[in-house]
Amino acid sequence: MNDKNKLGFWSIVLLAINSIIGSGIFLTPGSVVARAGDKALIVYLIAAIFASILAISFASAAKYVSKSGAAYAYSKAAFGDGVGFYMGVLRYFSASVAWGVMAVAVIKSTIAIFGGDPNNFATVTWGFVLLMAIILIINIFGQNVVKYVMNLSTIGKLLALGLVIVAGFVVLMTTGQNHFSELGALQKSMPNSQPITTSALVMAVVSAFYAFTGFEAVASGSEDMKEPEKNLPRAIPLAILIITLIYIGVVGIVMVIDPRSLFYTKQVVAVAAAFNNKIIQNLILAGALVSMFGINVASSFHAPRVLEAMARENQFSSYLTKRTKRDFPVRTFTITLILAILIPMAFQYSTDNLIILSATVRFIGFIIVPWGVIKFYYGKSKEAILDAKKNWFTDVLLPILSIVLTLFLLYKYDWVSVFSIAQGKTMVMNWYAIGSLIFGAVFLPAILWMITRFEQRNGKA
């Protein structure tokens, strides 16, 4: 590929921002505030530190392995074909499901904003297919168009979030009213409210942490980037710093001018409810849609390239490596598109189980990749790696912290409630979520492994 068509440093920064900032900061800051109360901003800061440590570990892996595939490429280089194959399939499945979830989110939000019924299966289906067709067209036109759309959508969402901060500051200055002290009483008035304990704060950190996930996918298309071994380790931490400042600014200003909106609003975009001005509300709503569309485009860039990267390493048929004249991986994109459409349809567009499925499998990569970086540092990798400049702090200490923090999150994660569902006043096992997790983490890798081995024995791979 011509270097002019590859993503440069600032495009990678914008790609990372686009990959991380999605619908969460617009739709669900109330869940963090409800758990943490007036300590919510500290919670976001702690979550940002967690995410930064993990992100630096992934960025450190990128300087040793510049191949596309991110977690797959790093795991394969560090631990060999077996672990690499498993991580690749798991990451691909998770990314495909996540794309489907975000597509459903943007369609349902659009329908609700324009007064339609977001739970009507036929309406969502038509909107879903239309959105995917638009994303397909964008990708067909090649890297330049994808880059333009992602950069434009990133700028659009940052302007919308900036509007929240600036407009909120103007409201604060003109009214002189600070409602921050009301947070405690509001939290106590919530149904099933509980005291703010250490355990509650930890769960709030876990909730806030998910607003930063997505950094691990940025390097999936590293072969389409300029000097990824140099640019990725600098671009990802910078992106997280920018995002942290934005999150704290947005949530902080809403907590000051109208914290009640975070608890009781029925609007699709929660942060817009803090403003009574319709023009400001509509601009924020437009920014939310731009944000969700942008992360769909980013997902359509990341997910197919995981499968393509595995094919380039002869772990799938070379048939999947073919690209168009515009460098569009049409075959892996088509497979991913089908998966991203069929799974949400199978779940009747209910995102709860799909989010559980996509989010849970990320934790495995948060352990394997940092461990792999430590192996790279000590020269214990299974495959040849780049002759990168080693740094004990970023290549050993931070990866160890990444593993410890991930295990801590897994330990504190409320698995019972996640894999349960309310039926009336009774909580029962959520077998859709459990079955999907078992399929994605166990059966799918096993099936694809057997197919690949069969093709290799018959000389088809």
pTM metric for this prediction = 0.76
**pLDDT (0 to 100) of residue 316:** 78
**pLDDT (0 to 100) of residue 378:** 93
Residue with tokens 């006043």: 425
Reported for 443-448, long-range contacts at CB under 8 A and 24+ positions apart, including other chains, are: 444/89, 444/93, 445/85, 445/86, 445/89, 445/90, 448/85, 448/89, 448/316
Kindly state the average pLDDT of the residues 83-104.
Answer: 83
The per-residue pLDDT for range 136-194, each reduced to its tens digit, is 888 887 667 777 777 777 777 778 888 888 888 888 888 887 877 777 777 666 655 55
Distances (CA, A) of 27 to 105, 127, 184, 450: 10, 20, 21, 41
User: Quick one: pLDDT band at residue 235, thresholds 50, 70, 90?
Assistant: confident
Q: What angle do CA 423, 190, 24 make, to 5 degrees?
A: 75
DSSP 426: E
For residue 317, is pLDDT > 80?
no
> Minimum mean pLDDT among 87-91, 268-272, 332-336, 401-405: which range?
268-272
Distance between CA atoms of residues 196 and 409, nearest Å: 18
The structure tokens listed for 133 are: 């067709």
